[in-house]
Amino acid sequence: MRAALDAGADAIYFGADGFNMRSASKGFRTGDFGGIGRLCRSQGARAYLALNSMIYDAEIETIDSVVSSAKMAGLDAVICWDKAVINACMRHDMPFHLSTQASVSNFEAVRFYASLGARMIVLARELTLEQAASITARIDEEKLPVTIECFVHGAMCVAVSGRCFISQELFGRSANRGECLQPCRRSYLITDDEEDHQLEIGTDYVMSPKDLCTVTFLYQLFDAGIGAFKIEGRNRSPEYVSTTTACYRKAIDFIAAHRHEDGFHEAYQAFSTGLEEELAKVYNRGFSNGFYFGRPAGAWTKLHGSEATETKIYVGIVRKYFPKAGVAEILVHSPRGLETGETLTIQGPASGLVTVPDASIHLDEAPVDRVGQGDLFTVKCGRVRKNDKVYVLMKNYGPTVR
């Protein structure tokens, strides 16, 4: 959360324990809502609570209590699609946004959910830019008090709007309850039942789509009247959240500043190409345009795991931070050690993400070329905290599995 805010997010969305689409992750509890709201407001950002799993009868009272807590904490909206959550939001006068799980793909659906009070609607991922523009144009014509949001980056699901049942069928773990074991990300074999011959299905992971990346044509989403851009980033590392947020922040600011100037398209193409290269450094399965220009072709990932061009290697932990000097004291745990000039990234729950490019390291107050396991060295950096984890960023020369 801190990484997203520090990188320039206008809003963050976060899961409540047990009711979001990533049940394996540690969700926030109702007692955290007040602090989250204050943190976001202090940085001029909005806080959206994701209650976007399907809800069972036995959970109705709990959902009502969670929504009531969100309202009292001053959170800005709940992201949902189950009618029980929508009803709870209406009872408590809590603003709500409609999740892409609702698969809104036409203006009639937009009008209906707007009539219930939805202030923002995340369209189905399967729509083209042309279809999205048609919907936003009709919203303007009828002056509906609703904003259209679309995904601009992150993992894509093989199923329509993410409503997949493969994990439920194979493992009894429902994707619609945030329990997906992602069987679609695996390779598969065709088996000949008569003679038991097996063939691998092509060279692709045929149910594992590449990740969505719109940064090179983001201005076209502006032109389509889309009012909010959403990055899929749940269960991702702080460096993923920081890098993706920062890149799209830069893209949005560039478009806002220059879109009406002569030569904008050429300038933006050059600018966004650099951003795409930066995005490729963190976790990804390769990049795709999604459905924005029609049904994607050849948009299946070739590898298991990440195609990131950079990877991080654990170094050690922060032992102390000296705020007046802006220096951290770090204990090296890794046998690999660290060399001067390498890029460090320091991560912690209160620090977010602090990056130290071309680090100059000191041992006993003297500059050194490298430090090894057990050494206690110092480096100048932004504010970090005791026990924050320290990593070195390296070029990645092959796929990683996370």
Rounded CA separation 188/349 (Å): 39
- Residue 39: closest CA among 92, 63, 3: 3
At 399 the pLDDT is: 47
At 19 the pLDDT is: 77
Where in the chain is CATH 3.20.20.70? 2-163+207-288
3-state secondary structure (DSSP) of residue 367: strand
- Residue 136: closest CA among 124, 125, 149: 149
- Residue 377: closest CA among 340, 346, 343: 340
Rounded CA separation 71/217 (Å): 37
According to DSSP, residue 66 is labeled: H
CB 149 within 8 A of CB 224: no
| Angle, CA 186 vertex, CA 185 and CA 192 arms, to 5° | 140
3-state helix, strand, coil in the chain (%, to 5): 35, 25, 40
Q: What's the CATH architecture for 310-395? A: Beta Barrel (2.40)
Helix axes 238-258, 264-279, angle to 10 degrees: 180
Measure CA 260 to chain center: 30
At 166 the pLDDT is: 67
Domain 2-163+207-288 = CATH 3.20.20.70: yes
Q: Which tokens belong to 329?
A: 């004291």
Q: Which residues of the chain have pLDDT under 50?
A: 399-402
Largest interatomic CA distance in the chain:
75
At 402 the pLDDT is: 37
Q: Which tokens belong to 110?
A: 């937009």
Where in the chain is CATH 2.40.30.10? 310-395
pLDDT digits (tens, 9 = 90+) for 102-120: 999 999 999 999 999 999 9
